[in-house]
Every structure is written in C-alpha cells, then in structure tokens.
Amino acid sequence: MGMHRVSLLLMLALGIGIGAAGTHLADRDARGCSTVPEAGVATTQGGARPSTPHAQPPAAFVPPAFSAGRAQAGAGGPMAAPGIATEASPDTDQLLKDLLTLAWNDRRDMRAKLEDFLDEHPGRDGVAVASRGVFDLASNADVLPDHALQALYLDQRDPEFRRVVAQVASLRGDNTLIELHAAEAATGLHAATPAERQQALTALARMRHVAAAELAAPLLRDPDNGVVLDALLALRATGNQRHVALAERLRRHPDESVRWLANDVASELRMLSEHARTRLDDEELAGELPALPLPPPAAPTQCGRATG
C-alpha cells in the first residue's frame, strides 16, 4: 500500500510539471507572434532578453539600424534587412481621395489643389497621382473647367503631366493643347543623333492623336533604320486610314524588319476611319497614364501555421 501511494504522488507531480511547461511554451509562442521583427527588440550583452515589459518597442517602431539602412537605400546605398520596408510607399488611394475632395473649409479650387499637390509631391509619383486625378475629372467640367486645364498646361513644366492635361482637353473636344504639345515634342525630331530623334518619336506615339502622326511622318524617310522603325510605330499609334499610303511606301524598303513592320502598320491603319484619333479616346489615354506608385507593403509577421 505504501509503494502504491508513492507511485501516485510521483505521477501527480510529473503531470503538474508537464502542464506548467506546456503553459509556459504556449505563453512564449503567443508573445512571439508580433508584426515587429524580433531583431528590433533590445538584448543584453549575454544575448538574453530583458525581463522588464518596457523593453518591448511599440508596433510602429523602426530600429535605428534599419533607419540608417533606409537612408542609405535612398542615396543609392545597400538595402536594409529583408522584411523591412526601405522606403515609405505612398497610399495612392488616400492621396487621390484627398486630392479630389473639395472640403467646405478649403477655399481652393481644383486647379489650385493640383498645383499645390505637385509642389508638395515633386517627382514621378506626384505627377502620376496628379495625372490620374485630372483623368478622373475628364467628364466633370464643373470641378475642373476647360480654362483650368489651359492654365495647368501653361503653368506646369513636367512633360508627362502636360501631355495628360492636353489629352483630357482633347477628350472634351478641344484639340488646341494636344496640337501645341505635339509641336513642342516634335522639336526633337530635328536632333543630330538618332537616339534623340527616336525619343521624340516615342513621345509623339504616346499622344494617341492624329496631330502627332502628321509630325512623325517625315521621319519615315530617315537614313537610320532604327528611326524609321520608331516612326512606323508612332504612325501606328497616332494615324488613321489617311496614313495607309505612307506605310505602304516602305514595303520595298531594303531592310527586312522595316518591310515587315510597314506591312503590319498599313494593315492596322486600313481598319480605322479617316476620322479616327482626331479626338482622343479615353481607353487609349488610360493606357498612357503615368504608372501609379505601388501600395504600401503588408506588415511582416512571425506567426506561422499552427501545427498539431
């Protein structure tokens, strides 16, 4: 009987110990599941974590080491550790919402808001968001009137933004700005180097308007075959049925690639009417908008799939 009682006591003690160990492990796993990488938690010199609860950083905390890595990445230096955003990505949806909302306590009109936005967000991302805002207001002349489009075009210097403004004006039936912008872009067609002429042809192709086709057509006779190919591409993107003959003349060109593209361009233009692209199409403009910045990355997590 004495031995039986001793066995029972040993089994009871063992069960209590196993249960306590399991509770400790579960509590440790629950505390380890965080959106902040554990690399950001301070450690003692011996490598153990401080026992005080105040050593745990807040959720938005970025360790100084990663802050330095972010600064280096912005200057062209090495990237920070994986899983940490090295550059704060803008919230495009929120930026657009704020830009296109006219608050009752804001005396600015949409033209002033767009100009202030571009001043506050210089660079490619700001131009992309502002261009999208202008495109979204293409059918709302009450909020963004035609005279505001003209003022924006004259006041701003970024060629991508000015192109979109001119294209939106063409969507509304006014081709004055798109013709002016095409003439400005065409100045590069007279450059000395083929690369510069090709760059000008690419800019004309993105306008998607027949005014650009008329200006690109003379470079179908350029001595550089690369320029001729880009002129054909510009003609395909901006021309209509009236320009079929220009492409057909190159079917006997000495270069095989020019002959093939000329035949393809002539076939495509033949399917368009003589009035095509005399007024911009909204779907074509949507495809030529500057690319919006990527959304912010999701917060990294250490939680893995539960195992049995």
More confident residue, 67 or 167: 167
pLDDT of residue 216: 96
pLDDT band, very low/low/confident/very high, at 52 (cuts 50, 70, 90): very low
Average pLDDT, the chain: 77
Q: Is the pLDDT of residue 271 over 70?
A: yes
Q: Is the pLDDT of residue 43 over 90?
A: no
Lowest mean pLDDT among 210-214, 258-262, 283-287: 283-287
- The whole model's pTM is what? 0.67
Residues comprising the chain, all counted: 308
End-to-end CA distance of the chain: 40
pLDDT of residue 222: 96
What DSSP string describes 7-36? Answer: HHHHHHHHHHHHHHHHHHHHHHHHHH--SS
pLDDT of residue 280: 87
3-state secondary structure of 55: helix
Separation of alpha carbons 189 and 224, rounded Å: 13
pLDDT band, very low/low/confident/very high, at 142 (cuts 50, 70, 90): very high
Q: Is the pLDDT of residue 30 over 70?
A: no
Lowest mean pLDDT among 37-41, 89-93, 104-108, 246-250: 37-41
Q: Percentage of the chain with pLDDT > 90? A: 58
Tell me the two tokens of residue 150. 């003209």
* Mean pLDDT computed over 23-39: 46
Residue 193: DSSP 8-state: S
Question: Any alpha helices (H) in the chain, and if so which ranges?
Answer: 2-32, 64-74, 92-100, 110-120, 124-136, 146-155, 159-171, 176-185, 194-205, 210-216, 225-238, 244-248, 256-270, 282-287
Hey, which of 77-81, 134-138, 295-299, 303-307 has the most confident mean pLDDT? 134-138
